[in-house]
Amino acid sequence: MTLLMALTIALVGGEIHTMDGAPMTQGTILIKNGQILAVGQDLVIPADADVVQLDGAIVTPGLIDAWTQLGLVEISGVDASNDTRSGLGDLSAFHRVVDSFNADSSLIPIQRVHGVTTVLVAPSGGLVSGAAAVFDLGGPVPISPDVGLVVGLGGQRDGSRGSRFWRLRALFEEALNYGKNKMLFERNQYRNLFASRLNLEAVLPVAQGKKRLFVRVNRRADIRAVVDWAVLNQIKLVLVGAREAWLEAARIAEAGASVILDPTANAPSNFDSIQSRADAAKLLLDAGVPVAISTFSAHNVRKLRQWAGNAVRVGLTQRQALEAITRRPSEILGLDGHGLLRKGAVANFVVWSGDPLEFESTVKAVYIRGVHQTKLHRQRVLFERYRKLNPSSSHNGSEDAQP
């Protein structure tokens, strides 16, 4: 691995969509030590470089899905293989997905071969679900072990949405008070606080506006309330799901908040989502809101490019849709050097046989931190195993490849 990374690799003759300007034909990418040394049309290729011919293939940054459960779930229905919820109550700010993340999950290479290189991994459940993390899909080390706190607002089975939002505000207020009076608190000289110290510690940087707050919320009234609250308290807000956000596009843009959404969610699925519409991404973008497209999935993160294609179907340009799965999520999540191809950026990119959003196109190669990723995965091995049926053999087919 280290040897490989020390090499300079030159990928030559591609149509490079840097997401940092217009696409360039006959472009070259130079990479070393997991980073991009240069992208350009007339680059001098070092004599010792390993040269890969792209033959006009399209290159994009690695795709980024800004809301997944990858590495937390193997089989949703098998409880012990599902680590999305803390299980420790409605207030679980201390819960960190990074402590559950399984880099060896069989799901990961299955998504990666479809061009997804980077994902946000989100916890779920409760009012405060915990801290999300961001991973490149090439190893166990997170890019960001705590990219922000995840909370959920909106209609509940019991209790009002208002009381839920009040509880969140109270928690943030308490965290700030706790932050100002830590010494007294430690000496047991401060009034009782309803949240535990662990919760307050985790909430504090978010309440101080140092870390992102991801709010899963859909109804316009809730969105309006949470945006106004975030502005007043200088909280870094990302709206997640946000079915009716398009109705408050101007307010969200003005607040500097951003949105992660599913462009296929177009039905009134519940009483928080009556005004769902497929072209919400376009309406938000037109108003100046940064938008990332997500699959909100674990097993089907590989659909990300199809989801982007569907956003084009209802009004986004191809460029906007590609940005919504590369550059925008990187910006929204504050990732350094992800989502675009330029000098100094992380060498995460995908080589495509054609339009990345079309089914006909294949992924020819995926590089994560400069490392060419294997195309093998469990489903591929199963396919090879059953390519020819041989019912009399113990395992039905030919020798298995190793994933």
| 170 scored as a contact of another protein (CB under 8 A) | no
Q: Which is nearer to another protein, 128 or 357 (CB)?
A: 357
Q: Which two tokens stand for residue 264?
A: 């296929």
| 317 scored as a contact of another protein (CB under 8 A) | no
CB of 203 to another protein, least distance (A): 31
Among 86, 310, 320, 326, binds another protein (CB under 8 A): 310
Q: How far is CA 136 from CA 8, 132, 144, 303, in A?
A: 21, 14, 10, 17
Binders of another protein among residues 44 to 83 (CB under 8 A) are: 74-78
Among 8, 102, 177, 306, binds another protein (CB under 8 A): 306
| 302 scored as a contact of another protein (CB under 8 A) | yes
Using CB under 8 A as the criterion, what x/- string covers residues 341-380 for binding another protein? Answer: ----------------xxxx-x----------------xx
Give the number of other Cβ atoms within 10 Å of residue 318's Cβ. Answer: 15
Contact between 354 and 361 (Cβ < 8 Å): yes
CB of 29 to another protein, least distance (A): 24
Q: Which is nearer to another protein, 166 or 386 (CB)?
A: 386
Strand partners, 366: 350
The DSSP-derived string for 348-393 is -EEEESS-TTSTT--EEEEEETTEEPP---HHHHHHHHTSS--TTS
| 300 scored as a contact of another protein (CB under 8 A) | yes
Q: Which is nearer to another protein, 51 or 75 (CB)?
A: 75
| 166 scored as a contact of another protein (CB under 8 A) | no
Q: Which two tokens stand for residue 381?
A: 């091995």
| 312 scored as a contact of another protein (CB under 8 A) | yes
- CA neighbor of 221 nearest in space, from 195, 247, 196: 247
| Separation CA 251–CA 246 (nearest Å) | 10
Q: Which two tokens stand for residue 130?
A: 């915990």
CB of 207 to another protein, least distance (A): 34
| Separation CA 169–CA 215 (nearest Å) | 13
Q: Which is nearer to another protein, 28 or 264 (CB)?
A: 264
Q: Count H helices, E strands: the chain?
A: 12, 16
CB of 151 to another protein, least distance (A): 22
Give the binding range for another protein (CB under 8 A) out of 14-22, 37-45, 224-232, 271-279.
Answer: 271-279
Contact between 240 and 180 (Cβ < 8 Å): no
Give the binding range for another protein (CB under 8 A) out of 47-55, 130-138, 258-266, 332-340.
Answer: 258-266
How many residues in total does the chain contain? 403
Among 6, 99, 386, 393, binds another protein (CB under 8 A): 386
Give burial (CB, 10 Å; 0-12/13-18/19+) of 42.
Answer: exposed
Interface residue list for another protein (CB under 8 A):
74-78, 107, 264-271, 273-275, 298-300, 302-303, 306, 309-310, 312-313, 357-360, 362, 379-380, 382-383, 386, 389, 391, 396
